[in-house]
Chain A
Amino acid sequence: MSKVVGFNERLKRVSNHGIHLKWVIESEAKGHTPTVSQLISHIKATDIESNPDFILKQLVESEAIIQDANLIRINGPVTDFILWASDASNIMPGSRIEQIFSEVIAQINSIFEKLNQDGETLRQKGAYITERVRDINSKLLTLRGAAAENVRTVINSSSSLRLLKEDDRLKFIARVSKLWEEDIDPISGFRKVTSDLQIRRREARSILESMIYSGKSSHTIRRDSERILELLDMTWDRIAYSHDIMIKEVRPLYKLAQRMKSTISIVNAAENMINHIITQNKFTPNLDLSIPSLRVNQLFSDLSIDSFILTLGDVEDEAEYVIPPRASMEEIDTINPPIDIIELVKNEKFIPDAMEFVLGHPLTQSHTIQECAIAVYSRRGEIVHHFNRDSNKKLYSKENSDFDLLSRPIQIEVIV
Chain B
Amino acid sequence: MNSKLIKATFDEMKSGYHISIGHPLWNEIIEHSEELIEYFSHLQLELEIKSDIGYCYFKTADSNDLIDLKRARRAVAILNILVLEIKNLAGDEELEGFLLGRNTFPLESLELHNTGRFSKALKQLGVSDKEDVITHLKSSQSFGFHKIENGRIMLQKASDRIFKYTLLEIPKVSEMEEEE
Contact = CB atoms under 8 A, between A and B. Distances in A.
The yes or no verdict on A and B being binding partners is yes
Most buried by B among A266, A284, A288, A294: A266
B14 interface: yes
A297 B124 contact: no
A279 B7 contact: no
B150 interface: no
A395 interface: no
Given A266-B99, A269-B170, A297-B64, A286 B72 contact: yes
B129 to A, nearest CB: 17
A142 B84 CA distance: 50
A384 interface: no
Contacts of B14: 292, 294-296, 302
A273 B122 CA distance: 11
B163 A286 contact: no
Contacts of B68: 286, 293
B118 interface: yes
Contacts of A270: 80-81, 83-84, 163, 166
A295 B65 CA distance: 7
A169 B69 CA distance: 37
Interface stretch (B21-29, B54-62, B103-111, B130-138): B54-62
A278 interface: yes
Nearest to A279: B173
Interface string B140-180: 00010000000000000000011101110111110011000
Interface in A303-332: 305-306, 309-310, 312-314
A94 to B, nearest CB: 26
A176 to B, nearest CB: 15
Contact of B118 (A274, A288, A302): A274
Please tell me the size bucket of the interface on A.
Answer: 35 or more
A48 interface: no
Interface residues of B, number: 63
Chain B: interface secondary structure? helix
Contacts of B59: 290-292
B15 A293 contact: yes
Contacts of B83: 266-267, 270
A296 B7 contact: no
Interface stretch (A78-86, A110-118, A152-160, A257-265): A257-265
A272 interface: yes
B29 to A, nearest CB: 15
Interface in B27-80: 43-46, 57-69, 71-73, 75-77, 80
B180 to A, nearest CB: 10
Nearest to B169: A288
A281 interface: yes
A309 B10 contact: yes
Chain A: interface secondary structure? helix
Nearest to B95: A263
Contact of B92 (A260, A276, A291): A260
Contacts of B16: 291-293
Most buried by A among B57, B68, B69, B173: B173
Given A273-B80, A283-B169, A290-B66, A266 B7 contact: no
A343 interface: no
Contacts of A262: 99
A273 B99 contact: no
A314 B3 contact: yes
Contact of B163 (A266, A271, A290, A297): A266
Interface of B: 1-3, 6-7, 10-11, 14-16, 43-46, 57-69, 71-73, 75-77, 80-81, 83-84, 87, 92, 95-96, 99-100, 117-118, 120-121, 124-125, 143, 161-163, 165-167, 169-173, 176-177
Give the 7 A-B CB pairs with smallest separation, nearest first: A313-B3, A270-B80, A286-B72, A291-B16, A269-B167, A277-B121, A275-B173
18 contacts: A259-B100, A263-B92, A263-B95, A263-B99, A266-B163, A266-B166, A266-B167, A272-B172, A273-B76, A274-B117, A277-B125, A284-B72, A289-B72, A290-B59, A291-B58, A294-B15, A296-B14, A313-B7
Given A290-B66, A296-B60, 20 more contacts: A266-B83, A266-B99, A272-B173, A274-B118, A283-B73, A285-B72, A285-B75, A285-B165, A286-B68, A289-B76, A290-B46, A291-B59, A291-B67, A292-B67, A294-B14, A295-B65, A297-B44, A306-B7, A309-B10, A313-B2
